[in-house]
Each structure stands twice: as C-alpha cells, then as structure tokens.
A and B are shown apart, each in its own frame.
Chain A
Amino acid sequence: MTEKIIRKKKITRHGFSVLFVHWAVAISTFVLIFSGFAQMPLYKRYMLDRVPGLSWVSDYSVTLSIHYWAAALLIFAMVYHIVFHSMRRDFDMVPRRGDIRESVQIIMAVLGWAKEPENDKYLAEQRLAYLFIGFTLLILVVTGIIKVLKNLPYINFSEGFMLWITQFHNLGTILIIIGIVVHLGAFIFRENWPMLPGIFTGKIDMEYAKRRHSIWYDRVFAKKR
C-alpha cells in the first residue's frame, strides 16, 4: 500500500489515477446516458430541443457523434483502470467472500440497528457496487462496440443477433442508471458524508478513517489488530 499521511488530520485515500478514472467514467457515462436517450425521439417529443441553447439535442447526427466520443473516453478510462490496477496488484475494490452479508450489516448499522463491522479501505457495499457498475459498463461497452461495427458500411449482423445486442444495450442503460442512483443514494446517510471529499481531493479525514476504515487505517500504519 502506498497511502501516505498528508497532515495530521487527513489521509490520502485516492491518487491521481483513481480520481482520473472515476471522473472520466462519471462524465463519459453521464454524456452517454444523455446522448443515448437522444437516440430515441424523446427530446423532440418532449420539447427539450425548444429550450434555448438545446436545439441540437434532437439532431441525431450531433448526438450520435457525441455518443461516439464519450464512448471512446469511457473505453480509455476503463482500459486504463484495468491495466493500472492489474499491474499494481491493487484489488481493494474487488468484492470478497461475505460482502453481501457484511453490506447488510453496514446498512443495519447506519440505521442504528446493529454494530458496524470493521471495514477495509472500501466498505463491502462499495465493493459490490463496483462489481455491479463495472459489469454493467462492460455489457454496455461490448454491445456498444458491436453496434458501432454494425453502422460501418459492409458490416451487417444477423437480425436476431442485433435485436438481442440492442436489448442488452438498452437494459444496460437502465441498470447503469439504477447503479448511479444507488451510488449517489448512499450519501443520503450522514455516516457516509466524510467519504465525499476523497473523490474530489483524494483525501479523507484521518479520524474518520481510523474509526470506520480501521483495517485499512491499521495497514497504512503497519499495525496489526
């Protein structure tokens, strides 16, 4: 582990690469959802294109190009993420055995009904959310690439295959929206608020880390419980 203590009160939870990947994925996913919905005649019907400055949202040629560029950014960030963490053997976010049980326990604890377990760098539910969002993005990227290939001249996949690929792409869109809502919904709970600065600055409160992420905190200071 390479976390370092910045000052007495803060500890670095994320470095540049993690922050970059998070925000590249977040921004590109948001743009992909918006431009993806634009691929249906939704914005014209619901007159979003009549809002000053948004006339372009019902122009398929514009929104399709935006969708492609955002997809390229997402692919870049996802590949970067996989290669970076694989090379460093850094798998803190990968779900572990017992994560489902532990995440239920954390939720119960947040509601005041149970004692919270000791946590590592990430909460069990964060690891599960990572798996859900990561897997959904993979479905979207793979089906999206097939859709891109299909648009090229001289490439024509079979009718049934494309029908399924498209439904998976659309289903993936619904799943990723659910994933984002749940991800952001975690911050309804005050207990999770101290984690927020970490995704902007990379640093979180030292005392919070000590109390809630004790396994990680101890590892950073090479202490064993």
Chain B
Amino acid sequence: MSDFSRREFLKRSIASTVAGGVALTGLGRNAEASGAIPWGTAIDLTRCDGCRTLTQPACVTACRKENRRYFPEPIKEISNYWPQKKTEDWSGKKGLTSRLTPYNWTFVQEVQVEHGGKRHTIAIPRRCMHCDNPPCANLCPFSVLHKMPGGPVLIDHDLCFGGAKCRDVCPWGIPARQAGVGIYLHIAPKVAGGGVMYKCNFCYDRLRSGHAPACAEACPQQAILFGEKEQMRKVAHKRAKEIDGYIYGEKENGGTSTFYVSPVPFEKIDAALIKQKAAQPNPKAPGFPGMAVDIENFTETANGIAWSMVVAPVAGIAAAAGVAYKTMKGGKKDD
C-alpha cells in the first residue's frame, strides 16, 4: 500500500460518495441507470490482525454500534417452524461476535495456514460481499432484497418473510434469520414465514451521506479500504502483486464488491475454515462462511436456459404459421 494511503482512499471515497449521494437524491431511485458510482472495499489480510489487543475487533464494534437501530426485537414466545420442531432465535445471544447473527453483521475469522514453508495466521473480516449479480436479491420470492445504486444489497426488513432462501442461495450463507419478528407474524405465523433476514447493508445510510462504511472507518490497521469499486479492484491487484498474493471476491459468484488480498491461497484458507466449522459444537449452524474459490453464481444455470424464452416465441410463430397455412390451403383440415 505504499502509494495508496488510507487518507487518499478516504479522500477519494468521500468525493465519490458525495457524487453518488447527489445522483441518488437528485435523480431518484434509478440513479444506477444514470451512472451512480459503484462502491467497493479492498480487505488486506496482511494488515488485519483481528484487533488482538482489543476485547473485540474494532470493525465488529463499529458495525454493531452503527446498525444497532436495525437489530430485531422479537416477541417473547416464538413458535417453532411447524411442522419442524425448530426455530431460529438469536435474541438470547445478542453479544455473540464469533459468527454472523441477526445482531452481528460482521465478524473476524482466524485461521492458521502453512504456505511457502511458513506458518501464517490469517484474520479475515467477514460479511456480505455485495455481489454484482446477487442471487439472494434475484431469487427472493417476494423481491424484498435489492441491489441498490452504488452496489449495496439491502433487505427490506418490513417486508421480509424470513424464508431464508437468500441464505440458501448465497454461496457464503451470509444472511442470518431471526424468528418472532416481521410481517409473517401478521399473516399466518404458525404455518408460513420464519422471521426476518439480516446482514451487512454496506452502511448504505452512511454512503448516502458521504461517509465510508463504519467497519472501514474504524479499522485501526487500515485493512479495510473503501472507495470506488474499480479503484478498489486496482488496489487489490497492486497489493497482490506486491506480496505475490491472492485475490478473493473478484470472480467468485460472478464478481462482488469486496476484494480480499491474502499472502496465502484461498483454497488453503477455505480448507482451514471448513475444518474449524466442523469442529464447532453445531457444525451445521449458519453464519460461519467458508471461502471456496471460483464459486459459480446460483443463477448461472438458469440464465443459460433463458435463451429458450427467446427461441420459444419465434418457434411458436413459425410452427403456427406453417400449420395454419397448410390447413387453410386445403391440406389437412384442422382447427
């Protein structure tokens, strides 16, 4: 990061956020179409140390403080997801910071990885990657997730039904569910719906008012850099070149707004994370993402079939015209 200081990034990011804010307020919700600047972050894993000297990482503290107002306040008696005998209630674990929960939208994982004959301790801040083509937003059955101008992927907490499909189609299983809160309580809570999903919102309110996300601003190591997305991509590549390292988040899931730079291959980090997860008391519990490399976007297969909907009407016209012509011209009669 020799010539890309944090100060420079903040300067650039504030300038661009102001520009984005103007576009947002001046041009309304279609600002993206009118050219709102996509934001990004570059997370330098050679700098992040998980804030060892603090009781919890500064990014986690800042995130919790910033987003406290969105945290769920569920009803006291939460029913199971009938006929299943389970529910997802994190309200008794609001202080948990070792995974993603509805009350903790970012956390830091730490793994030990052998690479190049050296043992590396890698601390990894984790949260929503804000994908370029987010399957969570695309596939939400009620369209209550949306990729906003500038790139943040947001959940509408007022309309979310808590089916957790967004988590199932997210390659990292990021969104966290809280039962006993949300619109489903007013419809048929015993038989449909599961609560509300929560995840990092890229500090959208802060972006709109010209500020960097709370995690980026709070990081004492300048490990989380924020700015225009393309600038962040360049930073990540430059840093990767400097340390002969690796980038994660650029290609995964079809591209994201988050670029991790690591001195060790992400395959090794992923393997260590999988091992760590398997050793947990409940290995299947959500909120502890891996870092599988080159993950395909969930919509890719379906998008490959989309051409059939272009061919279908053309084929329909041709076939119908052919048959109708034949029947009208005294061929085989048919109606």
30 A-B residue contacts at CB 8 Å?
Answer: A2-B334, A2-B335, A4-B333, A16-B323, A17-B324, A17-B327, A39-B139, A47-B83, A60-B139, A60-B168, A60-B298, A64-B302, A65-B302, A73-B312, A76-B312, A78-B316, A79-B316, A79-B317, A80-B316, A80-B320, A83-B316, A148-B302, A150-B138, A151-B306, A159-B146, A162-B143, A163-B144, A166-B141, A166-B143, A167-B142
Q: Considering the chains assembled together, what is the distance between the CA atoms of A15 and B323 in angstroms?
A: 11
Tell me which residues across on chain A come within 8 A of B148, comparing CB atoms: 159
* A153 in contact with B133 (CB, 8 Å): yes
Interface residue A201 (Cβ < 8 Å from any Cβ of B)? no
* B142 in contact with A153 (CB, 8 Å): no
* B316 in contact with A41 (CB, 8 Å): no
* B29 in contact with A16 (CB, 8 Å): no
Tell me which residues across on chain A come within 8 A of B323, comparing CB atoms: 16-17, 84
Mask for A60-88, Cβ within 8 A of B = 1, else 0? Answer: 11001101110111011111111110011
Q: Considering the chains assembled together, what is the distance between the CA atoms of A166 and B308 in angstroms?
A: 21
Mask for B252-263, Cβ within 8 A of A = 1, else 0? Answer: 001000000000
Interface residue B319 (Cβ < 8 Å from any Cβ of A)? yes
Closest to B131 in A: A153
Mask for B307-335, Cβ within 8 A of A = 1, else 0? Answer: 01101110111011101110110000111
Q: Considering the chains assembled together, what is the distance between the CA atoms of A65 and B299 in angstroms?
A: 9
Q: Considering the chains assembled together, what is the distance between the CA atoms of A68 and B299 in angstroms?
A: 11
Tell me which residues across on chain A come within 8 A of B305, comparing CB atoms: 65, 68-69, 72
Tell me which residues across on chain A come within 8 A of B165, comparing CB atoms: 39-41, 60
* B308 in contact with A64 (CB, 8 Å): no
Q: Considering the chains assembled together, what is the distance between the CA atoms of A100 and B141 in angstroms?
A: 36
Tell me which residues across on chain B come within 8 A of A68, comparing CB atoms: 302, 305-306, 308-309
Partner of A41, one of B30, B32, B147, B163: B163
* B299 in contact with A151 (CB, 8 Å): yes
* A3 in contact with B311 (CB, 8 Å): no
Q: How many residues of A contact B (CB 8 A)?
A: 55
Q: How large is the interface on B (under 10, 10 to 19, 20 to 34, 35 or more residues)?
A: 35 or more
Interface residue B280 (Cβ < 8 Å from any Cβ of A)? no
Smallest Cβ distance from B167 to chain A, in angstroms?
10
Interface residue B25 (Cβ < 8 Å from any Cβ of A)? no
Q: Considering the chains assembled together, what is the distance between the CA atoms of A156 and B321 in angstroms?
A: 35
Q: Considering the chains assembled together, what is the distance between the CA atoms of A41 and B88 in angstroms?
A: 15
Within 8 A of A (CB), among B121-174: 132-133, 138-139, 141-144, 146-148, 159, 163-165, 168-169
* B309 in contact with A170 (CB, 8 Å): no
Give me 14 other A-B pairs in contact (C-beta within 8 A), A67-B302, A163-B144 excluded: A15-B327, A39-B165, A41-B168, A68-B305, A72-B305, A79-B313, A79-B316, A80-B317, A84-B324, A88-B335, A151-B299, A151-B306, A153-B132, A163-B142
Interface residues of A (CB under 8 A from B): 1-4, 14-18, 39-41, 45-47, 60-61, 64-65, 67-69, 71-73, 75-84, 87-88, 90, 145, 148, 150-154, 156, 158-160, 162-163, 165-167, 170
* B325 in contact with A1 (CB, 8 Å): no
Q: Considering the chains assembled together, what is the distance between the CA atoms of A163 and B312 in angstroms?
A: 27
Most chain A CB atoms below 10 A, which of B146, B164, B165, B311: B146
Q: Considering the chains assembled together, what is the distance between the CA atoms of A207 and B256 in angstroms?
A: 68
Partner of B335, one of A18, A69, A75: A18
Nearest 5 A/B pairs, CB to CB: A79-B316, A15-B334, A166-B143, A83-B320, A72-B308
Tell me which residues across on chain A come within 8 A of B282, comparing CB atoms: none
Smallest Cβ distance from A157 to chain B, in angstroms?
9
Tell me which residues across on chain A come within 8 A of B81, comparing CB atoms: 45
Interface residue B55 (Cβ < 8 Å from any Cβ of A)? no
Interface residue B84 (Cβ < 8 Å from any Cβ of A)? yes
Interface residue B301 (Cβ < 8 Å from any Cβ of A)? yes
Most chain B CB atoms below 10 A, which of A148, A156, A170: A156
Most chain B CB atoms below 10 A, which of A4, A14, A15, A167: A15
Partner of B320, one of A71, A72, A87, A145: A87
* B84 in contact with A64 (CB, 8 Å): no
* B321 in contact with A71 (CB, 8 Å): no
A84-B320, A159-B29, A166-B141 as given contacts; A154 in contact with B306, CB under 8 Å: no
Tell me which residues across on chain B come within 8 A of A69, comparing CB atoms: 305, 308
Closest to A73 in B: B312
Tell me which residues across on chain B come within 8 A of A81, comparing CB atoms: 320
Q: Considering the chains assembled together, what is the distance between the CA atoms of A130 and B260 in angstroms?
A: 56
* B333 in contact with A2 (CB, 8 Å): yes
Q: Considering the chains assembled together, what is the distance between the CA atoms of A213 and B274 in angstroms?
A: 70
Closest to A84 in B: B320
Interface residue B303 (Cβ < 8 Å from any Cβ of A)? yes
Q: Considering the chains assembled together, what is the distance between the CA atoms of A94 and B83 in angstroms?
A: 46
Tell me which residues across on chain A come within 8 A of B142, comparing CB atoms: 163, 166-167, 170
Tell me which residues across on chain A come within 8 A of B334, comparing CB atoms: 2, 15-17
Closest to A72 in B: B308
* A79 in contact with B320 (CB, 8 Å): yes
Smallest Cβ distance from B149 to chain A, in angstroms?
9
* A40 in contact with B163 (CB, 8 Å): yes
Partner of B309, one of A40, A71, A166: A71
